[in-house]
Every structure is written in structure tokens, then in C-alpha cells.
């Protein structure tokens, strides 16, 4: 049986009537952010940002599959006001936020990847710190009902899995891509991430209708 929040999200899933025009300037802002970094040939940030975004798409796909197979609830849902709900836990606003989050966090990385902070490699430490920050933001969103959690092992009382699976892989992969030495290898890793996402969407979404 579906939870109340899952039913609310399902009722607006990919409903075009939800559209509002503020989506267009937000989209333009995302394009501008990438255009600036491309103009500067700052490929570390461009591919780190894309990798971060691609990892989020992967998370949203498996979250939707959890909802399909349990017929109860997704691990996280986004039933609140939105201009478009792409997946059960991903609205267009969240999507655009993750599109630029990798660039924003990447700008905070020290130029020396070998630098240690408090004796800890800076990439590892910052991935942990940034993940904790994102979990904190999610808790706030949950408290106001914008983001819903229906499982006892994924909520404000058990934030460890949100940290470990919800965010830490995003940062570790994004920072890894940031530090890859050649543009070709950065591009290869990014293409692999998006190929997995695209294949999953085609199979589970377009063919099987599970998303």
C-alpha cells in the first residue's frame, strides 16, 4: 500500500500542467555557469560538475526502482510544489541544483590534491564535510515537508545511510574526475557515468515503465 507522500508524488509525476516559467531562467543560469567555465577552459570543474550531476541521476533511478518494487514508497520523495516532477524523488528544481553543485563545491578544492588538512587528505576530508552539509540541508527540507522519508532506516534518526549512499559517492567521484590528469580520461569517465544512466532510463523507464 502506498504511503500518503508517495501517492501525492505519484499524482504529479511528469505532469506537464505543473509547469511554471521560472524554470526557463533557472535553466539559463545553469547553462551560463557551464558556459563561463568552458570559456575559461576550466575542464576540471566542467567534468567534475557533470560527474556530480550524473551520479545524482544514478541515485534517482535506483530510488525510483525501490518505489516500483516495494509498491510502498521511494527511499526519498519530492511530493511538494514543483514545476515538473521528473522521477518520484527528483523535481526539476533539484535537478538544476545538482547540475551546478559539483562546480560550486569543486571551486572550494585546494589546488594541491596532496595537501592534508588535520592530517587527512583534503579530498577525503572535504568530501565528508560537504556530504554532512548536504545531509543537514536534506534534514531541513524534510522538516518542512519538501522532501519525504518513509523508511525507518533512512530518516532524521538514522542519517548515516543518507550520508554514505546519498552524498559521499557524489563527492568522491566528482573530486576524482576533477583530479584526473587528461581531458580525454575525464571525458571517458563522464561518458561512462551518463551511459549507465541513459541505459537504465531506456530499459527501466521507456521499455519497462518502472520509473
Q: State yes or no: pLDDT of 205 exceeds 90.
A: yes
pLDDT in tens, 33-87: 999 999 999 999 999 999 999 999 999 999 999 999 999 999 999 998 999 999 9
C-alpha cell at 53: 550531476
Ramachandran sector of residue 119 (left: φ over 0; alpha: ψ -120 to 50; beta: rest):
left
Query: What is the model's pLDDT at position 1?
Result: 87
Q: State yes or no: pLDDT of 146 exceeds 90.
A: yes
Ranges of each domain in the chain: 4-207
Segment 101-121 shows an average pLDDT of: 95
**pTM (2 d.p.):** 0.95
Beta strand segments in the chain, E: 85-87, 90-91, 116-117, 120-121
CA-to-CA distance for 177 and 133, rounded, in angstroms? Answer: 21
Amino acid at each position: 500500500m502506498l504511503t500518503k507522500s508517495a501517492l501525492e508524488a505519484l499524482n504529479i509525476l511528469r505532469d506537464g500542467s505543473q509547469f511554471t516559467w521560472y524554470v526557463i531562467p533557472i535553466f539559463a543560469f545553469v547553462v551560463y555557469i557551464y558556459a563561463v567555465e568552458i570559456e575559461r577552459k576550466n575542464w576540471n570543474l566542467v567534468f567534475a560538475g557533470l560527474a556530480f550531476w550524473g551520479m545524482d541521476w544514478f541515485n534517482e533511478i535506483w530510488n525510483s526502482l525501490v518505489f516500483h518494487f516495494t509498491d510502498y514508497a521511494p527511499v526519498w520523495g519530492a511530493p511538494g510544489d514543483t514545476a515538473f516532477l521528473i522521477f518520484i524523488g527528483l523535481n526539476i528544481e533539484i535537478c538544476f541544483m545538482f547540475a551546478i553543485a559539483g562546480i560550486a563545491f569543486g571551486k572550494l578544492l585546494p589546488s594541491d590534491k596532496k595537501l592534508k588538512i588535520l592530517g587527512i587528505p583534503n579530498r577525503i576530508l572535504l568530501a565528508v564535510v560537504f556530504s554532512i552539509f548536504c545531509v543537514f540541508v536534506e534534514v531541513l527540507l524534510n522538516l518542512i515537508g519538501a522532501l519525504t522519508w518513509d523508511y525507518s532506516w533512512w530518516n532524521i534518526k538514522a542519517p548515516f545511510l543518507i550520508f554514505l549512499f546519498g552524498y559521499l559517492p557524489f563527492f568522491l567521484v566528482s573530486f576524482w574526475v576533477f583530479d584526473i590528469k587528461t581531458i580525454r580520461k575525464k571525458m571517458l569517465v563522464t561518458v561512462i557515468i551518463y551511459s549507465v544512466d541513459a541505459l537504465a532510463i531506456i530499459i527501466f523507464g521507456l521499455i519497462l515503465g518502472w520509473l
